[in-house]
Structure 1
């Protein structure tokens, strides 16, 4: 018997496979429904998201919603938007910010979860870890290279690579004005098309 989507989500939310490595313990954060038309693949929850259990419930989420041109009610509607990180739990903090997503997570759950999302029209790969996971060898040598080649990834695979919307990335945005001038208008249009009935 095939596992139902609700049962799968319940198993993901109860996951403890990397518990020994998580400084605040496991709290998998995921939002998904088989009817979702926009898929956001991100890195891993930050500390504030861990505390609330709500994806992108922080300044990064505010900037991301601005980039997408959508409000919180639309963003948090799992029937329209799936948010599936590479690591479902907060991995802890290192010298330069949050640690990378735990490597056990995506191989354990993505192959079970992503096939249920048959209605997805657009996938966003946010940050380098999501781009490694989704684009593989097709990605650029750097995050900037991957994002700069967004037209090729979008037209070829329906995947739009984005930098992380963290406030820490202000300098990247300043150094890459083409992102706001060229990519953001296209991003907003594609998101609107993906979410249209």
Structure 2
């Protein structure tokens, strides 16, 4: 089943926090609300924000690499975001987000686009090198999907070390 393009982006020049994700999922596409699922609950917990704060475009920009739901692959997982979306619109949109103080790069697609050669060979390598980017107020995270629960269990340092620093940076940005 092919769907009509349905871009789902939340952005304002006054946003203090940018969440750069992959692409809207099925539920986001249907409800027109990004991270409107258990992964959004986990992401908001990681950030230490309320649902009201998260969905306030004046405070938080939600700008995925692909603006539309990419569909499912043969195994039932989401396809990767369409590259042409980021190539066509991403840079221009990000230029307009002049108030961003903290950037959260969710998943390898966002990390590779924003970090370029500084991204590691794997998501784990990039996320484990998180402190290399904090001077720029950039945080690297895995996707908060339930599919990554085993990754989180194998990498307890993420919740022990990264999450407290991320929460502190987000709170500082939102309260400034």
TM (norm. structure 2) is 0.97
Correspondence for 1:79: 58
Q: Distance in 2 between matches of 1:149 and 1:23?
A: 38
1:146-182 CA distances to partner (integer Å, 9 max, x unpaired)? Answer: 0001010122x33211000001101000000000111
1:101-128 CA distances to partner (integer Å, 9 max, x unpaired)? Answer: 0011011111211111111101000001
**What SS is found at the alignment partner of 2:19?**
strand
Correspondence for 1:105: 85
Q: Distance in 1 between matches of 2:168 and 2:91?
A: 29
1:136 maps to 2:116: yes
**What SS is found at the alignment partner of 1:144?**
helix
Correspondence for 1:10: none
Aligned residues: 175
1:150 maps to 2:130: yes
Q: State how 1:155-194 maps to structure 2 within 5 Å.
A: 155=135, 157-194=136-173
**What SS is found at the alignment partner of 1:104?**
helix
**What SS is found at the alignment partner of 2:46?**
helix
1:89 maps to 2:68: yes
Structure 2 gap segments, 5+ residues each: none
How well do the aligned residues superpose, as a CA RMSD in angstroms?
1.1
Match of 1:41 among 20, 40, 48: 20
Q: State how 1:5-24 maps to structure 2 within 5 Å.
A: 23-24=2-3
Q: Which has the higher contact order (CA 8 A, sep 6+)?
A: 2
Q: Distance in 2 between matches of 1:116 and 1:153?
A: 22
Paired residues of 1:23 and 1:91 also in contact (CA < 8 A): no
Structure 1 gap segments, 5+ residues each: 1-21
Paired residues of 2:137 and 2:169 also in contact (CA < 8 A): no
TM (norm. structure 1) is 0.87
Q: Which has the larger radius of gyration?
A: 1
1:69-89 CA distances to partner (integer Å, 9 max, x unpaired)? Answer: 111100000000000000000
